[in-house]
Amino acid sequence: MTWLAIDTATEVASVAAGRPPHVEAGAEVRGARRHASELIRTVAFTLERVGVAPNELDGIVVGDGPGSFTGLRIGWATAKGLAQEAGLELVAVPSLLAAAAGASLREPVAAWFDALRGEIFGALYVVHPDRVETLVAPMVGRPLDFIAKAPVPAALVVGDGAVRYAPEAESWSGRPPVGLDRLPPGAPLLLSLLERPGAARVLDDPLTAEPHYGRLAEAQVRWEAIHGPLPDPPGPAH
């Protein structure tokens, strides 16, 4: 059972392939501006290293966000295109969960991605060897609002949002935050989490499935401020 993993929620886009929970090959692209131009090439390179063609995969796991709106669109478009072409199962695991799992603790770990505007995309998990416990589901808000919502303090806060709001993160957890540059890439962690109960959601209709963006794209926010809310997309034809 060889699976492909793709995560593009942050500045570092990563790809991995292997037999979950084991990773056999992986690669990453640093810099959000390179995601669109380099992701397909990175996928091809990774699959070549494991000697598997796309139609020989058993499935694809993609980072569910929240995070960079553009990055998530690129990663999901790639994953959905490959899944549709090869008839593969597509599942999603929160990118925040992957970051929390990278801390390798069996205590509550908060993952905070910088959401700009003084806010974070955040979640709180306990990653057990045999399951995942979600204490705060992915949300967007100010660091202090997140802390107020959490049922218990985090033992550690990770992510670029944790570094940006280091005083709040350290005061709450009692430890200095850990940035993304000190964590493993997201894609290998997606593979390691794939089979743990509580981690993944199966996308029954990959064509219409969307990641958890956390908030609307900046361009849509500006458009709606002038023109009003966009209409909902039409439903499927009957």
Reported as a single tens digit per residue, the pLDDT across 94-121 is 999 999 999 999 999 999 999 988 999 9
pLDDT at 32: 62
pTM for the structure as a whole = 0.88
40 contact partners, CB below 8 Å, separation of at least 6: 78
Query: In order of start, what are the domains of the chain with their CATH numbers?
Result: 3-94+184-217 (3.30.420.40), 96-182 (3.30.420.40)
pLDDT at 221: 44
DSSP assignment of the chain equals: --EEEEE-SSSEEEEEEESTT---EEEEEESGGGHHHHHHHHHHHHHHHHT--GGG-SEEEEE--SS-HHHHHHHHHHHHHHHHHHT-EEEEE-HHHHHHHTT--SS-EEEEEE-STT-EEEEEEEE-SS-EEEEEEEEEE-HHHHHHH-SS--SEEESHHHHHTHHHHHHHHSS--B-GGGS--HHHHHHHHTTSTTT-EE-S-TTT-----SS--HHHHHHHHHH-PPPPPP----
Confidence of residue 33 (pLDDT cuts 50, 70, 90): low
Reported as a single tens digit per residue, the pLDDT across 199-229 is 999 998 888 899 999 865 544 444 344 545 5
